[in-house]
Amino acid sequence: MTADPGRGAPLRSHRHPLWRKAPGRLFHHPVSFTALAIGALLVVISAAAYPFFVSASQSELLTSGIHAPTVSRYAAGLTYRSTLIPLDEKGPDGGPLYQERGTAFADAAAASPQLDPVVAGIFGASVEVTLPGGVVPASGEVSGRLFAGDGALDHLRVISGAEGDGVWLPDIIAEPAGVGPGDTVELRLHGVAVPVTVDGVYRGLYSLPSVGYFQPFNDDFYPAGCFECPVPPQPIVMDPAQLLRIATSLGEHVATFAWQAPVRASPPLTMEQARAVSRFAENLLARMERHGTPLGQAARCCGFWRYPGGGFVPAENVFRTAMPDIVKTVEGRSAASQAPILVLSVAALVIAMAVVAAAAAFSFASRRVEAGVLTARGWGPGAVSVKSALESLAPILVGAVAGFLGAAALIALVGPNGQVDAAAQMRALRASALATIVAIAVVAIVSGASYVARHERRERVARAVLWVPWELLGFGVASLLYRRLEIQGGLVESGGLLRPGAAVFLFPLALSLGVGILAARVMVFALTRQRTAGRRTGISAWFMAERRLSSSSRLTALFLVASTMSLAVFASAQAMASSLRATVDAKAGVFVGSDVQVRIGLLSEPDAAGYPFPVTSASRVRDAGAIGGTEQRFDLVAVDPATLEGAAFWDEAFSAEPLGTLLDRLAPPAPGAPLPIVVSNGEGLSFDTIDLANQHVPVEITGRTSSFPGTSSEDRPLVVVSRDVLETYFHTGGQPNPLNVAQGATELWIRGPASEVLATVAELGVLPLTTLTADDVKDIPFIDAAIGTFVMLNILGIAALALVLVVAVVYLQARQRARVLGAALSARMGMSSALLRRSLVVELGVVLGIALVIGGLVGIISVGVVVPTLDPLPTVPPDPLILRPWWALAAAGLALTVASLIGGALAARAARGVSLGEVMRAAE
Amino acid sequence: MDRIYRSPSGEVRALQDVTASIPAGVVTALVGPSGSGKSSLLRLIAGLDVPTAGRITVQGHEIGRASARERRRLRHGPVAYVYQRPSDNFIDHLTVGEHLDLASRGGATGVDGAELLDALGIGGRGDHLPDELSGGEQQRAAFAQALATGARLVIADEPTAELDSISAGGVLERIRTLSDRGIGFVIGTHDPDVMAIAHGRLELEHGRVKGSHPDEHPADLAPMSPIRWPGHDTPAWLESEVRELVVGLDAVSRSFPHGDEVVHAVREVTLELRSGEMVGLVGRSGSGKTTLLNLVAGWEMPDAGAVDVPGGTAPSWSDLAVVPQRLGLMDEFSVEENVRYPARLAGTLAEMAGLAGDLIERLGLADLRRRYPKETSLGEQQRTALARALALAPRVLIADEPTAHQDAGWAARMVDVMRDATTTGTTCLIATHDRELAPTLDRIVSMADGRIVTRA
């Protein structure tokens, strides 16, 4: 033997099979491989999901912004409008000016792949429409505007007719004139008449929601600024050539032209592409403003322009696009949700890294003999770390690839309904790569640390770490967050936008950490005491489970803390998301009255017979009067008790009594009896008269509610009365109707899908002044963000819990396999399969049961603390509703029971399934 | 020097006030009953552990003050260590040859691995994985690794405990040869042969030094030959009456595939055991002893022949109890709970409490009753397993190397306990390499190549 102490060849000889076999090593340890792969999968999902989510969310918001009724892809694209272009004016190249201008703009716009081909619209003079021979229709004079546009018919609601060589009249002209398809009318201007054939009739634009295609002419076709304004002349739609011919015939030599390059219809734009459109528009405008260039000469822009004949005329060139505003809005809304989502992503990443660390520790512990051999050979933690990192390459890469694909699939399936742009994909790829490297580093660090702790006699340090009261850290952080929530509220302002602060999400996590660790300590203490004091003479599942739990107390504690945190996150997120939803729904429902609110005139009489959705009418008067003998002001809402219950929004939390009962009490009183009223938002108020419209009105409070449909202020109580009863009272007294005041409004409250209700509201036969939907009220970015965040948190909680369960079951199985000899001997001694199975079920079930109770408690406390700080509309009642997560906890309890049963059965099967002969033979 | 372990069940004072010196370049036997602190001291000398108090200096390095790096350097260079359990010395996916390569740092130590394996009698096992070796082969291969490191000091914890005398002889021969070249050995052992070649002896008891004999001269080794287990007269009581036949094996064979080969572990074995007999089953490592015990225990099914045991195919613990080589103690139970476990499962805890108590007392487990098995020595675990096996006074006791990690005193005590059991009708079948047991047995059955070759 020739030994040279400490001067041997380097241990890390790459030729040695220990290194050579390392990359494929874990294929022989499927549990470790799977655990690491799952950890890496979660890490990469956490890392990649954020850029995917942000991009998809922005795309969804973008699509929503582009397709908003007041925008459309036409307004979101580029619009170039030139008013009063002389039809006979020549352009720089000698062709008609309007033609050269349109062509120049279209050619320039075609350079953007995000834009569809340009469509042109021509808006001509206002002409009188008569019957042949100049006969004015019996209903009186009617007029319209000459209009031609590429594909215009596709954007009209056709009533009757078919394409031909004639014109399309709006119903507001055709119906009074009594003309239809095939009839002839005359278009008159300056005493000249041009006969045209009517190809068809369409619904006048003024009576329908605005259409993007006509947006350059909205100001001309829609009444604006006043309700009683006359309807502007509606377009008489025809072919462009026909328009030019008719205009010339009528002696009109100018027309307004609009060229629109809409953003492409499909595939939907991504945020990057939207920004590209904005930049393109900016560049194009700059080029058009350089009047010395061919484009600047052909498509002049912008502002008033000088008529060649001399002098200034009130004509102008306008270039516009809504895209920068849309992008800004999307960025603003997205920013509101990004911060909390980022917090969650980081939290998810930390949890996922913890899973990787746990998997690495498990992998290391399951090969304790190997580590022992390396210890005896003098290996250091560095070499062990590098070897572990090499071994983890395969599972982590497998998990990372699956995680990247999983993140993409997750966002596609359950995430925002928007496209993920290429830049986001690259960001996700980079984040995934970085997270993968970090995960491998975590494996290396944990393996090295485990090696040091287990094989280099550092138990004292490990024991000291365990004795540190970490729960105080959790409680301390939770306490600080609680104070912050109390003082500052749950919402913070960032970039001019309100968004939920990190405290909202971190409070349940910190609290669950503290409670979980404390519970683990108590449990370990109780188990140890029980074991010491135990003098049972029999055998039971509980006895076996208790012994197993107390003998591996560190693992039990770790499992309990992880389960408690997972369940607390799950319960908190469930409760907060549902509470916020319920609160927003209630506030929107109360404010709007129902799903849709249509404001009408006080005297309008809707015809609801045959209308497909429940409707009720209500008149409300803000600051209507004062409580008798006091200065306490109140709002008034006069309802129709017969129809309100079916149509209005109601939440049982508003009153201890059913709505129907309350409404029944609003029935007409006996002559001379006080008016029956219901008082809402007036806790503690007691009165028998109100001062209304200069009258002292005797009232009787027949019911009380905390909130009521039609409430618009939380500062004043609301008096609810039957409209008929109120009007009759005042009418009988010869007094004016108190509802007919400036601050009053009469509304229809309609229950049903908003889009369908809005589309059919004309069937009620009333003229809608304004409409408002509950969805409009609920469209509050930070609330969307908060709910979305809690949903993410919820998914995170479920995922963490599922993971804890899988790890627990796998660990139980692995441990039972390792104890196969003990299990076989136990069977020989009389341990039945059923008892073994039951004991394993109890072992798992006890920890999960305690975790469920504590996690649920933390969830309930958290929701009670956090939700009141997130009042989305503080001026609108009711106060935030707090929903307890009973159903979620019951479902979780059921899932945990099933998991315990399955886990116990699998572990028992694993113990029984091993060939004892093989095990014993290996010892020979 | 002190070494105190803290565990969930309390403090374990493994070593107390130990003061001793071990000369370099000689063979030193570390002896003492199981649980006396031998393994703890060996780990300290190897730098695998540090003392709680006091000092320990190995080749100029003070272990207690040395950093982890310095202790690693010690094991990486001048000190090699062999774990007590043979299987603890192997990485499951490396062959024996690769282990030697790892230990010799790619041959940098200049040790010829193939020659080493040949010398230890496992020359053909270089390409085998650890699982393909018998326990005895593993023990020799583990020792070979320590030698391959080229260390100046080899520390081994019971390196011959599971070896038959011929295999052990090969190991001892190598030790002596290397010792002559100045390599030092510190060997924890109960083996008289090891003690015989040792230059010095350090004796521990209850964690304290009982005696130190540094100047002993090694005894001359007798030429190695197969052990001839001493036969003795059939006990009078067996002749005087016809005892009940309890276990019967009739032309039993068992083979199983092993790679491309078929290993005939047991071949046409016919054996009868009668009530109250204490029968030894001996033979070299790999001779088929454990397979035969497994067949009797019902953990292996014979390919041919018949096995008849009390309880038939599903014997209870009171029919047939086992002390496996791997013991199979329940980690989650204390020593006492392990002993009482069979009675608890049988619902006879109260009735059998006295017997369990006696077993605990007689097997020296009284002070350990609240400890978990992992907090006790391997020898103590063996005694716990024996107490558990006898806790229901079984009709048949099968024990696989039950005294392998015991000193002579405890081994004798264990035999006494088993002998007592036979007086109540328990039949004992004991696989062993321990020649000290021979005079105490009623009968010895010797196996080779899966067959019974002698019945004494």
- pLDDT tens readout for residues A556-596: 888 888 888 888 888 888 888 788 888 888 888 888 888 99
Confidence at residue B383, expressed as pLDDT on a 0 to 100 scale: 94
Structure tokens at B330: 């329940």
Residue B230 pLDDT exceeds 70: no
Choose the weakest-confidence range: A490-494, B213-217, B331-335: B213-217
Stretch A673-684: mean pLDDT, rounded? 89
> Exposed/middle/buried for A607, CB within 10 Å: 0-12, 13-18, 19+?
exposed
Taking alpha carbons only, the member of B136, B133, B115 closest to residue B125 is: B133
Tokens of A877: 């009642």
The gap from C-alpha A303 to its chain's centroid, in whole angstroms, comes to 41
| pLDDT of A426 strictly over 70 | yes
What is the Cα gyration radius of chain A? 38
Strand-pairing partners, residue A699, are: A675
pLDDT (0 to 100) of residue B185 = 92
Tell me, what DSSP letter sits at residue A131? B
Work out the angle at residue A203's Cα, subtended by the Cα atoms of residues A199 and A205, and round it to the nearest 5 degrees: 115
Q: How many helices (H) and strands (E) does chain A have?
A: 28, 22
Q: What is the mean pLDDT of residues A239-249?
A: 90
Sort strands B427-431 and B278-283 into parallel, antiparallel or unpaired.
parallel
pLDDT value at residue A205: 84
Closest residue in B to A20 (Cα) is B94
Sign of the torsion formed by the C-alpha atoms of A726, A727, A728 and A733? positive
> Tokens in use for A868?
């009141």
For A276-301, how does the pLDDT look when each residue is reduced to its tens digit (9 = 90+)? 999 999 998 888 888 777 777 777 77
Contact A388, A29 (CB under 8 A): no
Nearest CB partner across the interface for A378, out of B72, B299, B332: B72
Residue of B nearest to A924 (CA): B134
User: φ, ψ for residue A120 (rounded to 5)?
Assistant: -110, 145
How confident is the model over A799-808, as pLDDT tens digits? 766 776 776 7
**Taking each helix axis from N to C terminus, what angle separates A820-829 and A781-818, rounded to the nearest 10 degrees?**
70
- CA A185/CA A183 separation, integer angstroms: 7
Contact A194, A187 (CB under 8 A): yes
Chain A residues within an 8 Å CB radius of B40: none
pLDDT at A46: 87
Q: Strands (DSSP E) along A65-162, which ranges?
A: 78-86, 119-130, 142-149, 158-161
Q: Do B331 and A2 lie within an 8 Å CB cutoff? A: no
* A108/A671 Cα distance (integer angstroms): 78
For residue A776, give the DSSP letter.
Answer: H
Of B232, B238, B294, B264, residue with least CA distance to B437 = B232
Radius of gyration, alpha carbons of chain B? 22
pLDDT at A267 over 60: yes
pLDDT at B65: 82
The verdict on a CB contact (< 8 Å) between A378 and B350 is no
Average pLDDT over residues A1-8: 36
pTM of the model: 0.70
Full DSSP string of A325-384: HHHHHHHHHHHHHHHHHHHHHHHHHHHHHHHHHHHHHHHHHTTHHHHHHHHHTT--HHHH
Residue B162 has pLDDT above 80, yes or no: no
CB atoms within 10 A of CB A827: 19
- Stretch A517-530: mean pLDDT: 85
Confidence of residue B252 (pLDDT cuts 50, 70, 90): very high
List chain B residues with CB under 8 Å of A10. 105
Angstrom distance (rounded) from CA A124 to CA B70: 96
Cβ within 8 Å of residue A83, ≥6 positions away: A256, A315, A316, A317, A318
- The per-residue pLDDT for A436 is 96
Whether the CB-CB separation of A620 and A713 falls below 8 Å is answered with: no
Given pLDDT bands bounded at 50, 70 and 90, which one contains residue A785?
A: low
> Chain A closest CA to B98's CA: distance in Å?
7
Q: Flag whether pLDDT at A169 surpasses 70.
A: yes
CB-CB under 8 Å, B78 with A3: yes
pLDDT of the residue at A15: 65
At residue B217, the pLDDT reads 47
- What is the rounded CA–CA span in Å between residue A733 and residue A359? 83
Give pLDDT, residue A458.
61
Give the residue-averaged pLDDT of B169-192: 87
Backbone angles phi, psi at B208, to 5 degrees: -115, 155
Strand partners, A749: A597, A616
Instruction: Tell me which of A460, A543, A921 to substitute to probe the interface with B (most B C-beta atoms closer than 10 Å).
Output: A921
Contact B42, B90 (CB under 8 A): no
Q: Is the dihedral of CA B297, B301, B305, B309 positive or negative?
A: positive
Q: Cα(B123)–Cα(B129) distance, rounded to whole angstroms?
A: 14
A700, A702, A703, A708: CA torsion to nearest 10? -70
Q: What is the mean pLDDT of residues B177-203?
A: 87
Residue B102 has pLDDT above 90, yes or no: no
B227 vs A65, residue with greater confidence: A65
Q: Which of residues 148-167 of B touch A (CB under 8 A)?
A: 149-152
Closest CA to A73 of A81, A82, A63: A63
Positive/negative CA dihedral, A508, A512, A513, A515: positive
% of chain A exceeding 90 in pLDDT: 24
Place A922 in a pLDDT band, splitting at 50, 70 and 90: low
SS3 A762: helix
A84 vs A850, higher pLDDT: A850
Q: For position B219, what pLDDT does the model report?
A: 44
- Please check the confidence at residue A5 and state whether its pLDDT lies above 50: no
Q: How far apart are CA A234 and CA A228, in angstroms?
A: 17
Asked if pLDDT for residue B229 goes beyond 70, the answer is no
**pLDDT over 70 at A7, yes or no:** no
B265 touches chain A (CB under 8 A): yes
Which has the closest alpha carbon to B134: A923, A593, A851?
A923
**Higher pLDDT among residues B144 and A833, named by residue:** B144
Bridge partners (DSSP) listed for residue B398: B322, B429
Instruction: Give A-chain residues touching B111 at CB under 8 angstroms.
Output: 1-2
Q: A615-668, pLDDT tens digit by residue? A: 998 998 888 889 988 889 999 999 999 999 989 999 888 888 999 999 999 998
What was the pLDDT predicted at B232?
A: 35
For A537, which of B71, B135, B349 is closest by C-beta distance? B349
Say yes or no to pLDDT of B235 above 70: no
Q: How far is CA A255 from each of CA A88, A312, A700, B18, rounded to the nearest angstrom?
A: 11, 17, 66, 112
The C-alpha atoms of residue A618 and residue A637 are separated, in whole angstroms, by 7
- A117-151 core/surface letters (b: 16 or more CB in 10 A; e: else): ebbbbbbbbebbbbbeeeeebeeeebbbbbbbbee
Q: Indicate whether A793 pLDDT > 90.
A: no
Hunting for tokens 């609003």 — which residue is that?
A666
Q: Inter-chain contact A548–B332, Cβ cutoff 8 Å? A: yes
Please list the residues that pair with A254 across neighbouring strands: A86
- For B108, which of A9, A828, A920 is closest by C-beta distance? A9
Token pair in block for residue B331: 């980690």
d(CA A517, CA B316): 44
- Least-confidence region, from A127-141, A330-344, B83-97: A330-344
Percentages helix, strand, coil for chain B (3-state, rounded to 5) are 35, 25, 40
Per-residue pLDDT of A83-100, as tens digits, reads 888 888 887 788 888 888
- What pLDDT is recorded for position A496? 61
Question: Residue B366 and residue B336: Cα distance in Å, rounded?
Answer: 8
Using pLDDT thresholds of 50, 70 and 90, give the confidence band for residue A185.
very high
Encoded tokens for A515: 């409670």
A450 CB neighbours in chain B (<8 A) are: none
Q: How far apart are CA B176 and CA B187, in angstroms?
A: 12
Helix (H, G, I), strand (E, B) or coil at B288: coil
Place of tokens 């619902």: B347
Of the partner residues B99, B150, B346, the one whose CB lies closest to the CB of residue A2? B150
| Tally of CB atoms within 10 A around A806 | 16
Mean pLDDT of chain A: 83
Of A487, A489, A495, A478, the C-alpha closest to A339 is A495
Query: What integer pLDDT is reported at residue A744 of this predicted model?
Result: 76
What percent of chain A lies above the pLDDT cut of 70?
88
Element (H, E) at B411: helix B408-423
pLDDT at B355: 86
CA distance B372 to B378: 12
Is the pLDDT confidence value at B218 over 60? no
CA dihedral (B139, B140, B144, B146) in degrees, to 10, reads 30
pLDDT of residue A913: 66
Highest mean pLDDT among A26-30, A220-224, A903-907: A26-30
Q: What is the DSSP letter of B442?
A: S
How many angstroms separate the CA atoms of A713 and A877, rounded? 7
CA–CA gap between residue A851 and residue A774 (Å, rounded): 39
Residue B27 has pLDDT above 60, yes or no: yes
Instruction: Return the bridge partners of B31, or none.
Output: B203
pLDDT at A4 over 50: no
Which two three-digit tokens encode residue B433? 């390499």
Residue B418 has pLDDT above 50, yes or no: yes
Give the pLDDT score at A307.
52
Of B149, B265, B345, the CB nearest to A539: B345
B 426-455 residues with CB < 8 A to A: none
Q: Do B341 and A16 touch (CB under 8 A)?
A: no
- Considering only residues A717 and A455, tell me which one the structure prediction assigns the higher pLDDT: A717
Alpha carbon of A141 to those of A127, A896, B124, B266: distances in Å?
Answer: 11, 77, 116, 118
What's the average model confidence in pLDDT over B212-241?
Answer: 42
Closest Cβ opposite residue A547 in set B135, B317, B333? B333
- Write the CB contacts of A306 (distance below 8 Å, at least 6 apart in sequence): A312
The yes-or-no verdict on residue A879 having pLDDT over 90 is: no
Phi, psi at A111, each rounded to 5°? -70, -15
Q: Residues B103, B149: contact at Cβ < 8 Å?
A: yes
Size of interface A-B (CB pairs under 8 A): 211
Distance CA B437, CA B440 (A): 5
Collapsing DSSP to helix, strand or coil, A417 comes out as coil
Indicate the range of A125-139, A565-579, B126-140, B224-238 predicted with least confidence.
B224-238
Point out the residue among B76, B317, B320 whose CB comes nearest to the CB of A377: B76
- The mean predicted confidence, pLDDT, of chain B is 83
Asked if B71's CB is within 8 angstroms of A456's CB, the reply is yes
Asked if residue B30 lies in contact with residue B18, where contact means CB atoms within 8 angstroms, the answer is no
pLDDT tens-digit readout, A366-410: 788 888 888 888 888 899 999 999 999 999 999 999 999 999 998
Confidence at residue B139, expressed as pLDDT on a 0 to 100 scale: 85
